[in-house]
Chains A and B, each alone.
Chain A
Amino acid sequence: MMSGDESWFDEAAGPLVRPYAMTRGRTRPASNKLDMITLVVAVRADVDTVTLDPEYAEILRLCQRPLSVAEVSAQLDLPLVVVKVLLSDLIDSGYMIFRPPMRATRVPDKNLLQAVLDGVRRL
């Protein structure tokens, strides 16, 4: 689960609050760029609860359908920074895949906007 290049809190930072302990003191995802509406989903339907830490297993159970990073954070009642680290671990180790929100350009696709408009009209 560890990719080796995480930044750690130094010892002088004082006692770690639980969320930080959960991420082993790391404060930012090692590799993946996750933002609040990045969608994540578990790759497999079965969750390996024996070898995985409970937090990881819980995320995999939750993410059997695509959820945004913000939703995972809200459901687990964990701060975004912590959830992003846990999710990066799961992505790096192949348990999850993610889909970044569209953003190649500042200008959203016309068809996408039309689909959003139609969707809101149907509400």
Chain B
Amino acid sequence: MASVDSERQGGPNLNATAVKILVAGGFGVGKTTMVGSVSEIPPLSTEEMLTELSVGVDDLAGVEGKTTTTVALDFGRITISSELILYLFGTPGQGRFWFMWDELAYGALGAVVLADTRRLDSCFPSVDFFERRNIPFIVAVNCFDGADLYQPEEVRQALAVDEKVPIILCDVRQRESCKQVLLTLIEYIIALAPALAGDRSPAVTSS
């Protein structure tokens, strides 16, 4: 278990650790469905405000004055024990939400990039993001019914991801399948840990 920070003496013992895994991918690829399939609670939704400071100039064209829009972010929870809680965050894939990605990615154990073989390109930005930050990720291909089934190796070629990155097929509506995706990711992170540990410098997180 990670070391316990004692923020204050004498209060209730807050000795739980929270960790998070991101579920990223293009629009409508099944992120929320996957979060819901493994979460112990129905996916919750929280919003982050997008103020003019975080909006690109283009987005403000034609908008008068100060604007505040919000972006919904959904997440689920898996209470592993009284000391360990795993949160899964569905990460909005559209470029205009990227201002949130840094906070989302900060401290994440790793990420699942969901891919839809009918629109493989929609997961390119997610793959780029995690590769650049050295955040461990795997690719899970959501097999929508009727979608052309590609072999993982074909997907790997199309995405040009490293040979070591696991690529698996899944059905985000099936709990067992989603569980398998998470296990694959966590095992991959564990396998990577020694390599990452050898490079503890801050450079690990910079792009």
Contacts and interface: CB of A to CB of B under 8 A. Distances in A.
Interface stretch (B77-85, B117-125, B145-153): B77-85
A119 B15 CA distance: 17
Interface stretch (B28-36, B55-63, B156-164, B193-201): B193-201
Interface in A32-66: 35-39, 41-43, 66
B196 to A, nearest CB: 5
A105 interface: yes
| Interface residue range, chain A | 35 or more
B165 interface: no
B44 A119 contact: no
Interface string B148-190: 0000000000000000000000000001000100110011011
Interface string A1-31: 0000000000001100100000000010000
Contacts of A75: 44
A70 B44 contact: yes
A39 B18 contact: yes
Contacts, number: 156
| Interface residue range, chain B | 35 or more
B44 A106 contact: no
Given A112-B1, A115-B80, A80 B109 contact: no
A8 B80 CA distance: 41
B205 interface: yes
Contact of B81 (A107, A113, A119): A119
Interface in A65-123: 66, 68, 70-71, 73-75, 79-81, 94, 97-103, 105-123
A113 B14 contact: no
A41 B12 contact: yes
Interface of A: 13-14, 17, 27, 35-39, 41-43, 66, 68, 70-71, 73-75, 79-81, 94, 97-103, 105-123
Q: 7 shortest A-B CB distances, which residue pairs?
A: A119-B80, A74-B44, A102-B2, A73-B46, A37-B18, A103-B107, A74-B46
